[in-house]
Amino acid sequence: MSATVTITDSHCHLDFDSFDGERDDVIARALDAGVRRMVTICTKLANEPRVRAIAEAHDPVFYAAGTHPMSAAEEPMATVDELVALARHPKFVGIGETGLDYHYTADSAEVQKQSLRVHIAAARETGLPLIIHARDADDDMARILTEEYRNGAYSCVMHCFSSGPDLARAALDLGFYLSMSGIAAFPRSQELRDIFSSVPVDRVLLETDAPYLAPPPYRGKRNEPAFTVHTGQVGAEVFGMDWPDFAAQTEANFNRLFTRAAG
């Protein structure tokens, strides 16, 4: 791997306990691997001060905040004003993650939908990208994203995209981006790789979702931002591109969407 190849981990969770005691080392390893920026995601607004502090302490780290759909029924409902206020911080670069998860928390579907619409409104008002988590909710997700877009444009990334081709097409039709995680590098994920192969390459981002979903050769271990490179190299193969060219394309894509972290 060439040291001149640089990429961005567009979605990780550096505040999680599994990084306690070695957070500085994890960030240093990412930089050594060519991962020059990381966006660490706050999934419960009560934890925002902790996530913000990590971004403030490390130049390469930016952050986003929202209420994860699996927590929507347990956490206070976010308000547009609350999210807009958080977005005034210069290192705050996105709204979320939010979305719908019917795999584990289908019983809170209505609360999740309400929370999702609040986050969309905040993304629209701030001009910052929406960060979407979608699992086993493709139809409702496509419908709500499309309905809300008709009410006013906003930008969005489908984080850790592992849904079906219909949701991919709906997102792309709205001008949104799809993020490739370690799942796309799993040996049994050929169907997902086939979906990505039909995506315009200027709509693709890279991420780890660390500490989850480590790509081979680290499958089953704690993921960390340095491992973005392994997913990215698989992505280059999917798109039939040289690794440096694909990396440069994903950097341009990230800069276009996450304008506050561009550079």
**Is the bond preceding 217 in cis, omega lying within 30 degrees of 0?**
yes
Task: Indicate whether 124 belongs to any domain.
Answer: yes
37 SS3 class: strand
The pLDDT-based confidence of 39 (bands split at 50, 70, 90) is very high
Lookup result for tokens 């567009």 = 10
CA dihedral sign, ordered 240, 242, 244, 248: negative
108, part of any domain? yes
In this prediction, residues 37-41 reach a mean pLDDT of 98
Secondary structure element (H or E) that encloses residue 179, with its range? strand 177-180
Q: Does any domain span residue 202?
A: yes
What CATH number did the domain enclosing 82 receive? 3.20.20.140
Residue 237 lies in a domain: yes
8-state DSSP, 212: S
| Mean pLDDT confidence for 165-189 | 98
The sheet carrying 156-158 orders its strands as 7-12, 35-42, 61-65, 92-101, 130-135, 156-158, 177-180, 204-206
* Total domains present in the chain: 1
pLDDT digits (tens, 9 = 90+) for 60-86: 999 999 999 999 999 999 999 999 999
**For range 40-66, the mean pLDDT:** 98
d(CA 120, CA 132): 10
pTM for the predicted model, two decimal places:
0.97
Cα–Cα distances in angstroms (integers) from residue 37 to residues 10, 163, 252, in the given order: 8, 26, 13
221-250: per-residue pLDDT in tens?
999 999 999 999 999 999 999 999 999 999
Quote the domain boundaries for residue 65.
Answer: 7-261
In a domain, 2, yes or no: no
Examine residue 1 and state whether it is found in any structural domain, yes or no. Answer: no
Contact partners, residue 33, CB within 8 Å, separation at least 6: 1, 225, 226, 227, 228, 229
